[in-house]
Amino acid sequence: MPPASLEAALAMAESYCRERGEKLTPIRRKVLELLLASGRATKAYSLLDEMRQIHPGSAPPTVYRALDFLLAAGLIHRIESINAFAVCHDLTQCQHGILVVCQQCGNVTELHEPKLRQALVAQIEAAGYRLAGDGIELKGLCAQCQEIQASSAGKAVKADAAAAPEAAAQSSSVS
């Protein structure tokens, strides 16, 4: 995220917290900033490592308390499937859309399709289930990771094809 966008997002979050009668403390702000800067879901201990570079005495409870606050304020999501955290698509109007999570890189896309969500929840309830929380996560592979995977598969096929004549020549010379 460009620095100007990052600052604008942090200012928006601060204003939102102030309107709610809450304070975005320097530690909370820094954790949110790290999440915004990463642009993807980030594990708590990765955040802690980054915090320790800035504040050497940072301990796990410090980061977890900041994450708890940001979650309660609706500024971030907890991505259960990969045990990580990501910034809400709309910092001040978190609507708990459907999250699509890349299982390779941790990229998260938030889909805001209320009718789709309602239909999915209705189907879940019709099956006799009740959702344990507001979040709905779908696991997948983002376009960039799909490209990398396809490229790697293509290289493996080429390597196998190049090795096949060599292997055939070696087996005929052994006979």
In a domain, 175, yes or no: no
In a domain, 65, yes or no: yes
In a domain, 126, yes or no: yes
In a domain, 94, yes or no: yes
CATH of the domain at 8: 1.10.10.10
Q: Give the Å distances, CA to CA, from 104 to 43, 82, 120, 144, 160.
A: 14, 10, 25, 10, 25
Give the domain extent around 24. Answer: 3-141
Residue among 85, 59, 72 at smallest CA distance from 24: 72
Cα four-point dihedral sign 84, 87, 89, 92: positive
Residues contacting residue 173 through CB under 8 Å, at least 6 positions apart:
none
Q: What is the mean pLDDT of the chain?
A: 86
In a domain, 173, yes or no: no
Residue among 65, 57, 60, 79 at smallest CA distance from 28: 65
Q: Total domain count for the chain?
A: 1
Higher pLDDT, 99 or 97: 99
Is the confidence at residue 94, as pLDDT, over 70? Answer: no
In a domain, 157, yes or no: no
Pairing outcome for strands 108-111 and 136-140: unpaired
pLDDT band at 37 (very low <50, low <70, confident <90, very high): very high
